[in-house]
Amino acid sequence: MMAERSLVRPEFLDLLHGHMADAEPTVVDDPALAQAAVALVVAPDPLSILFIRRAIRAADPWSGQMALPGGRASAGDADLKETAMRETQEEVAIALGDGRYLGQLDDVAPRTPDLPPLMVRPFVFVLPRRVSPRPCCQEVEEALWLPVADFVRPGVYRAVSLTFKGAIRVFPGYRVGSDTVWGMTERIITPLFRSLNLIP
């Protein structure tokens, strides 16, 4: 595992940039799936990722979960990258055009029929500094920067027991402070952390 202290060094962002430049993301091409996009936004000092906590809403299948800013594609979006940028602006009032776009990660889709048939494409952006996010819609309860170092400490990534659809089930996830990052968001960030040798 990369030493924790190296996560705050400028060279890390160069490593991330190099990885994204060489990446060949897996694309899910299934016309039966609706399309959506999220933004994985990184900023330094300390190196952190922007997360949202979704508001608790009966109509939201991801109600209350930690997630990356994003949402479904709109007819007015030129592409899914624009979807991710628009949704980030709408949800947390951060303009990603002020940052550096690095590329896209593997597409993900729900693994259970209990969730909507949806393909999510993650896009990676780096901001020159951390900007204070401001939740701007009823779907977002809170927006916060979580340090990458908190995710890669021993024991943080582990099996977590959660109540899902009325039953206790076990999922891979991250216990970061009082927050649990799991589900599709875990499936987005874990391959990236592994590719950068941050977790086993």
**What's the predicted TM-score (pTM) here?**
0.92
Looking at CATH, the fold of the domain delimited by 4-152 is given as Nucleoside Triphosphate Pyrophosphohydrolase (3.90.79)
Q: E-strand spans in the chain? A: 34-43, 48-54, 66-67, 70-72, 100-104, 118-126, 140-147, 157-164, 167-176, 179-182
- What pLDDT, on a 0 to 100 scale, did the predictor assign at position 10? 60
Whether residue 90 contacts residue 136, with contact meaning beta carbons closer than 8 Å, is answered with yes
Report domain extents, the chain: 4-152
Please list the pLDDT of the chain residue by residue as tens digits (200 residues). 444 444 445 677 888 999 999 999 999 999 999 999 999 999 998 899 999 999 877 776 777 899 999 999 999 999 999 999 999 999 999 999 989 999 999 999 988 787 889 999 999 999 999 999 999 988 899 999 999 999 999 999 999 998 777 788 899 999 999 999 999 999 999 999 999 888 88
Task: Please tell me the distance from the alpha carbon of residue 158 to that of residue 146, in angstroms, as a whole number.
Answer: 18
